[in-house]
Structure 1
Amino acid sequence: MRKLMVMALLLSAGHFSNAQSKTDFSKQYIDELYKSGSKIRSLSPNDTNFNDLEAIGRSIGEANFVLLGEPSHGDGGAIQMKTRLVKYLHEKKGFDVLMFEADLYAIMFELSDIKDLNSIDVSAKENIYTCWTESKVSQDLWTYYKKELKGNNPILLGGIDSRHAGNFSKTKLIGNLTDIVRSSQYNVDSEAYRKFVKDLEYILQNEFSSKKNGVDKDNFNTELNKIEEAVKFSSVDPRQRNLWLIEVNNIRNLFDLIILEKSRDIMMAENFIFLSKYIFPGKKIMVWSHNNHNVLDVNTYMSFNPEFAKQWYETDTYKGFTYFGTEIYRAFKDQVYSLAITSGSGNFSPAFFGKDFFHADFTKKAKVPESKEGSLEWYLKTKKTDLLFIPLPNAQGKPSGYPWFSSRLFDLGFEAKMDYTSSFNGVIYIDKTVDLNGQ
């Protein structure tokens, strides 16, 4: 990495002062990144010889939270690679918790407690997006989870999403919430509580199609604050009480997401911080999510182009816009490691959430967009690279000082020249990926 450090010093001395308008160091930078890369033998979850992944382990170092990204929820190769990484991190690096970018309540209050193997399959498919549970490429993950569940060192599951998209949330949340507040002598027969329940049911069932004026905002928030106080003094065990307090706040997040249209990422970060501190203290955690959520520096997005940057500051967008990764990096700094995955060619499934924002349409298939000349993906393809891990210099969380380069690390369909070094600690390149059916 010495050449990379020298390059950064040159840029900070003045070459980078005008957004690289005079000299473009991207080619030299990508050359050096390529030289620092380590070949990965296979993305197959069945390959349990992890010697080729040790470079990733060394790059992660002492970090306790690893964010496993993907360029699209329909990128089957990324799902296979992440499954192999879960095995490696669990067996060799002591990571025992796997949190999904999925329904916190359904996972924490049902799926994570299920021991019956057949019931796990049913609950997972009902409560986690089907691109990660019903797809052919995801089956190895759940086979492994169930195998480990029977051993001495099981994987613990968690969820961070404020979307209550799972069946368990839609059918059981209100009844279970009513039971716990009733046990604390809360008046669940009051008109205010009945109105709150009616509005919560409306949001749960309609989600993004909910009308903004379809609920009583003042009553909802006032009642939720009272419910929170009641839960604090409930008679359940401390862990369960903490879980319920996190969920009550998550109901507030759901309201803010659907009715007030606030940032989902900051809510997921808040959920993660609470869960890591109060439910999984001292545990090493893997997070299964999209590259876009795992960005460690929110200002990377501002680097898209000068006009966007101008609007970014003139409209104070940067004050409200954030990423999940950015927020937890602010909280935990170098304890967070963000690993992005990108694909050069092949197929993917474009309808990974379907019309209901939950069930993937496995009949849809699309080609990975062709990379533009000069981009990271184009460069690696010209090098006839198959699978490669690239560690990025340790310069995350703020403008890195390293050259910007073109890539689609934020999303499979979004290629742009940006400061990706500020956003990710490492990158895995897959030359030819597959769709959710493994084709």
Structure 2
Amino acid sequence: MINSKLVLMSICFSILVVASKAQQLLIPDMKIFDAKNQTVSNLDYIGKAISDSRVVILGEQDHGDASSMQAKAKLVQYLVEKKGFSVLLWEDDFFAFNQMSSNTNQYSIDSFKSIVSPFWSASTAMQNFWNYLSENARTNKPLRMDGYAIAFRSAYAKRNLRTHLEALLKTRELSLENSGDKNWFLSMVDSLLFNYNNKVEKTEQEKFYSWCDRLKTELRKNKKTANAVDEQLIYNIRATAEYTWLREYRVKHMAANAYWLLQNRYKNKKVIIWTANYHAIRDYGKAVENHPTSGPMYRNAFDKDTVKSFTQLLLEKGQESIYSLACISLSGTYTPRAWVSMDNPVEKIVVPEHSIENILNKQTSSSLFIDLRTLPTDHLLQSPWYMTPVLHTRSLISQWAYVFDGILFIKEQKGLKEPAE
């Protein structure tokens, strides 16, 4: 564990050593970013940084960050129109998205919008983006949308999952169809849909997992199965049970869904993943290595897959062509716990004095894009610095070039209910 006073002394010493040279390096390595006024034609510096990456992961500190969402929306537009990206994956219901994306002609943009989390679909700041997606859907090359979250939270899933599962058992001639456990199994699935905190005895948990594993094996061997999507559905049902009953493995299962989509449905496509900064971290161990509790927890974890980040897991699965971008904020306000309610009162953003956010603030009056991949080794930002990458209440110290590929520095953040720019 690193003593906090020693860390602070190290930071101050680093500043004194490299300050004069770093001041000259800072401006040329950064680009002004203006989500409101810049056109996509003026964002080629983003394209240069991303280079030939097949997957771009766009994070945000908190789901109550309206300004970050608007910035990400502008980046999506650029990636689609100038870099040939054709797929957008949301951190939302895999099942509902899978059903709709398989029959895109039957569903409108509003249908897709209805299964995206409210802070991304219903907030004022996002409406221009949804208008853009609606216009894009009428082009000859519409953007495909899909989801990779495991939980069946959408109204669509609640209406359709059981019916779909019953049909699957019958048409695929699975053993559960004629088993006395069929109604029990379906009732357990219902409980996962409508009772997120239900308590289930250990023996019933194991029985449920056993049936999920058996169904997956049967689907894999069944010649009537046209593709692997039904097997992945059963995987998601099991994963939802694990998360609901054990509160574990959510990120691991989201990464498995995203990897499945990248390798199967969108194998040769360029894909944008819309998510949180937490999931955009390339190396979670590096991000928290100096934290007094999270650092030891990561190092001592029995199953490392339970503590690794989403992007880290994708990288380890062999998905190497990834560019991860984090949005960070200096000041302003955000809507806390927006996943519970977008009506929560906004809170003020405060960052530590010795932080990347304050270093950047001293260099410009604008928001900035920084490509961490190309910073010189003696650049000030290559040194360990405090930053608040996740939510707005937890500052960490790290060498951030090991954690993210790029940073979008938002000068002033706004909450979801504040006037959109």
TM-score range normalised by the length of the shorter chain: 0.7 to 0.9
Residue 306 of structure 1, CA deviation: 5.2
d(CA) in 2 for partners of 1:156, 1:215: 41
In structure 2, what is the equivalent of residue 173 of structure 1? 161
Note if contact 2:136-2:143 (Cα within 8 Å) is conserved in structure 1. yes
Which residues of structure 2 form unaligned runs of 5+?
1-5, 376-380
**1:25 matches 2:14:** yes
Q: Which amino acid aligns with 2:182?
A: Y
Q: Which secondary structure state, in structure 2, belongs to the residue aligned with residue 110 of structure 1?
A: helix
In structure 1, what is the equivalent of residue 234 of structure 2? 248
d(CA) in 1 for partners of 2:384, 2:103: 45
**1:37 matches 2:30:** yes
**1:201 matches 2:190:** yes
Corresponding residue to 2:325 among 329, 339, 345: 339
CA offset digits 1:156-202 (Å, max 9, x no partner): 11111111111111221111021022012235252212111111111
Note if contact 1:181-1:234 (Cα within 8 Å) is conserved in structure 2. no
In structure 2, what is the equivalent of residue 155 of structure 1? 143
d(CA) in 1 for partners of 2:164, 2:118: 25
Q: Which secondary structure state, in structure 1, belongs to the residue aligned with residue 195 of structure 2?
A: helix
Q: Which secondary structure state, in structure 1, belongs to the residue aligned with residue 86 of structure 2?
A: strand
What's the TM-score once normalised by structure 2's chain length?
0.87
Against the structure 1 CA distance between its residues 156 and 210, is the aligned structure 2 distance closer, same or farther, given a 3 Å change threshold? same
Q: Which amino acid aligns with 1:387?
A: S
d(CA) in 2 for partners of 1:112, 1:433: 37
After superposition, residues 96-111 of structure 1 pair within 5 angstroms as: 96-110=86-100
Q: CA RMSD in A?
A: 2.6
Q: Which amino acid aligns with 2:129?
A: L
After superposition, residues 279-298 of structure 1 pair within 5 angstroms as: 279-298=265-284
In structure 2, what is the equivalent of residue 220 of structure 1? 208
Q: Which secondary structure state, in structure 1, belongs to the residue aligned with residue 60 of structure 2?
A: coil
Against the structure 1 CA distance between its residues 272 and 314, is the aligned structure 2 distance closer, same or farther, given a 3 Å change threshold? closer
Residue 111 of structure 1, CA deviation: 5.9
After superposition, residues 265-414 of structure 1 pair within 5 angstroms as: 265-305=251-291, 308-314=294-300, 316=302, 318=304, 320-332=306-318, 334-354=320-340, 361-393=341-373, 402-414=382-394
Note if contact 1:103-1:163 (Cα within 8 Å) is conserved in structure 2. yes
d(CA) in 2 for partners of 1:306, 1:384: 33
Corresponding residue to 2:83 among 62, 74, 93: 93
Q: Give the count of matched residue pairs.
A: 402
Percent identity between the two aligned chains = 21
In structure 1, what is the equivalent of residue 124 of structure 2? 136
Q: Which amino acid aligns with 1:284?
A: K
d(CA) in 1 for partners of 2:406, 2:276: 14
Residue 423 of structure 1, CA deviation: 1.1
Q: Which amino acid aligns with 1:78?
A: S
Note if contact 1:181-1:230 (Cα within 8 Å) is conserved in structure 2. no
In structure 2, what is the equivalent of residue 259 of structure 1? 245
Q: Which moved more, 1:162-171 or 1:324-333?
A: 324-333
Q: Which secondary structure state, in structure 1, belongs to the residue aligned with residue 278 of structure 2?
A: helix
Q: Which secondary structure state, in structure 2, belongs to the residue aligned with residue 25 of structure 1?
A: helix
Q: Which secondary structure state, in structure 2, belongs to the residue aligned with residue 95 of structure 1?
A: coil
d(CA) in 2 for partners of 1:194, 1:35: 65
Corresponding residue to 1:430 among 393, 410, 420: 410
Residue 212 of structure 1, CA deviation: 4.0
In structure 2, what is the equivalent of residue 7 of structure 1? none
Against the structure 1 CA distance between its residues 56 and 123, is the aligned structure 2 distance closer, same or farther, given a 3 Å change threshold? closer
d(CA) in 1 for partners of 2:256, 2:240: 12
Residue 293 of structure 1, CA deviation: 0.8
Which residues of structure 1 form unaligned runs of 5+?
1-17, 355-360, 396-400
Note if contact 2:40-2:77 (Cα within 8 Å) is conserved in structure 1. no
Note if contact 2:93-2:148 (Cα within 8 Å) is conserved in structure 1. yes
What's the TM-score once normalised by structure 1's chain length?
0.84
d(CA) in 1 for partners of 2:117, 2:274: 12
